[in-house]
Amino acid sequence: MARPRRIVLVRHGESVGNADDTVYEREPDHSLPLTEKGWRQAEETGKRLREAFGREHVSVYVSPYRRTHETLRAFRLDPDLVRIREEPRLREQDWGNWQDRDDVRLQKAYRDAYGHFFYRFAQGESGADVYDRVGGFLESLYRSFEAPDHPPNVLLVTHGLAMRLFCMRWFHWTVAEFESLSNPGNGETRTLVLGDDGKYRIDRPFERWRDPQPYWMG
């Protein structure tokens, strides 16, 4: 089994939806482009990735959203060194179709009170639903490692929630641990690095907005 030396997770650059949440009332979530700031964020991230990968090959998986595809394009990776696959299981949490801003803000308040992992948007998914499909992707990813010529690098261009849930699934974090973590910023990365002991470790933790609060603590 040719396990990669590093697995890099990247959140897309700032999209027009990050800058103005009223756009969800007019445009489908999946079709929202990057802002100028988002392009700059992605270009800066691309510089760091090119330095990290050098001339090594990279297996790339990208969410099917426009903003993730544009983020990947801004990286300017050498096409001779990358194998790119669109992966729908790495998409954003589904919130429904066109969204009423006031309704979404109300549902987000409900989610904050109910819990981000279990709360399901009225016409969309819960965090638990995203966890399940990310888990399915991980099974496919593990199988790809069986190829003796698997690249030493894996790059996932995805969304903040999916990044946290990928790490939750990989490292067997509890729901309480997941609930305590904040999303990375736009264009930020987290890298799983393979150690000499055969175990992966994350290069830097997600920021915490509170300490984990498991049920058994009362």
Note the pLDDT of residue 218.
54
What pTM value is reported for the model? 0.95
| Known active-site residue 92 | yes
Confidence at residue 38, expressed as pLDDT on a 0 to 100 scale: 98
- Alpha carbon 71 to chain centroid distance? 12
Q: Is residue 70 annotated as a catalytic residue, yes or no?
A: no
- Active-site choice (14, 92, 177, 179): 92
Q: Block means of pLDDT (10 residues each) for the chain, length 218 residues?
A: 93 97 92 98 98 98 98 98 98 88 86 92 93 98 95 98 98 96 97 97 95 73
Q: Residue 216: what pLDDT?
A: 63
Looking at 3.90.1520.10, 3.40.50.9100, 3.40.50.1240, 1.10.3720.10, the CATH number of the domain 6-217 comes to: 3.40.50.1240
Domain boundaries, the chain: 6-217
Residue 149, CA distances (Å) to 2, 21, 58, 141, 172 in order: 7, 44, 11, 14, 28
Amino acid found at 43: E
